[in-house]
Structure 1
């Protein structure tokens, strides 16, 4: 039997802490007595400390991240779009936050469908207007090799076809380019992994859909 690594143990602790925090958040939403709310609030604080330890973050920072999370606890939704040029190269944008590259995309906005979110993110971050053609993948980031995150995140990836070029209108990216698989630049691993870029290319070419 393979012994769990320290990284595996950290991920298990993080998942347990996320679950504990989700129970506390949901409990706070439905609790009616001050006694219950006090207890759920204490559970949330314990979970904040555990998440901070597992993700190597400051406890205060973790509390700030979840400050406005309320109601029934759900995974967060990250929407991305894969766009290819005529040579089969994939569109990537450089993130100002870490200077690394990613598929255009981000958190889903209220009031837009997943596909509408994907098209909006492409336009804002790359300047390209695209037509969303189909769904490529729905992934649970817990099941992939991303760096640990305080949040439980689901990633939806669409395929988009270029309709026209334009100017970048967002503030989160500072460069845009099309890349062949053998020339992929350093990626923002919290957003996308090299093996996911390869898989997305396979899905785009084959017409298949991947999901966890």
Structure 2
């Protein structure tokens, strides 16, 4: 087990225990454990800012569950896949983001695609569910499930959003030449989606 993944699981156990353990002495020990875990994460997570680490440790009170990342899968009539270029690091990803309270997974796919690519879509099918920690993604403090949802667009007229610097449709060969945002979706994920397009009768992949 990777160190950061292990520390993240420890943080989850400690936060959950704090929410339900009423013994004052146990709570003191758990709070002390929180501090130790935070120090270790700060020491070994060199790619995270102090604000990101602080936000991570101040979230997930109560019973801790995985976060959900929704990704919209949109193909045009020529079988090209819609990707957006992130302003933050200039890498390419499927439109998407964290699930918000009050929205269904399909509604999140619709909302994120419109906000990031200027495109109205209708969710059609859940193609893939991924436990991020069990696949070859970069380390993450959050425990994340990723949903890949096939969507149908009403046009191919796209535009950038607040968080995106470019939007385009790509063939599978073109995707292989791009700088892919591996935190959001790996090249392996995108290739699976092209396989779904070629054979839409495949069953949903999960785990």
* TM-score normalised by length of structure 2: 0.89
Q: Could you tell me whether the CA contact under 8 Å between 1:55 and 1:149 is conserved in 2?
A: no
Which residue number corresponds to residue 105 of structure 1?
96
Gaps of 5+ in 1: 1-10
Partner of 1:5: none
Cα distance change, pair 170–58 in 1 and its aligned pair in 2 (3 A):
closer
> 1:25 is paired with a residue of what secondary structure?
helix
Specify the alignment match of 1:141 in structure 2: 132
Contact conserved, 1:76 with 1:107, CA < 8 A, in 2? yes
Which residue in 2 is equivalent to 1:210?
205
Structure 1: distance between partners of 2:147 and 2:29: 35
Q: Which moved more, 1:40-49 or 1:155-164?
A: 40-49
Give the alignment's TM-score, normalised by structure 1.
0.87
In the alignment, the residues of structure 2 paired with residue 27 and residue 129 of structure 1 have an alpha-carbon distance, to the nearest angstrom, of: 43
Match status 1:175 vs 2:177? no
Residues of 2 paired with 1:137 and 1:23: CA distance?
28
Of residues 13, 19, 22 in structure 2, which corresponds to 1:29?
19
CA distance in 1, matches of 2:148, 2:121: 14
- 2:187 corresponds in structure 1 to 194
Q: Secondary structure at the match of 2:22?
A: coil
CA distance in 2, matches of 1:126, 1:66: 32
Given the alignment of the two structures, is residue 68 of structure 1 paired with residue 59 of structure 2, yes or no? yes
1:99-134 CA distance string (max 9 Å, x none): 111000000010001111111111110011001110
Answer with 181-190 or 62-71: which moved more.
62-71
Indicate the residue corresponding to 1:40 in structure 2: 30
For 1:153, which of 138, 144, 147 is the aligned residue? 144
Deviation at 1:189, TM superposition (A): 1.1
Give the match for residue 39 of structure 2: 49
Q: CA RMSD in A?
A: 2.0
Q: How many residues align?
A: 202
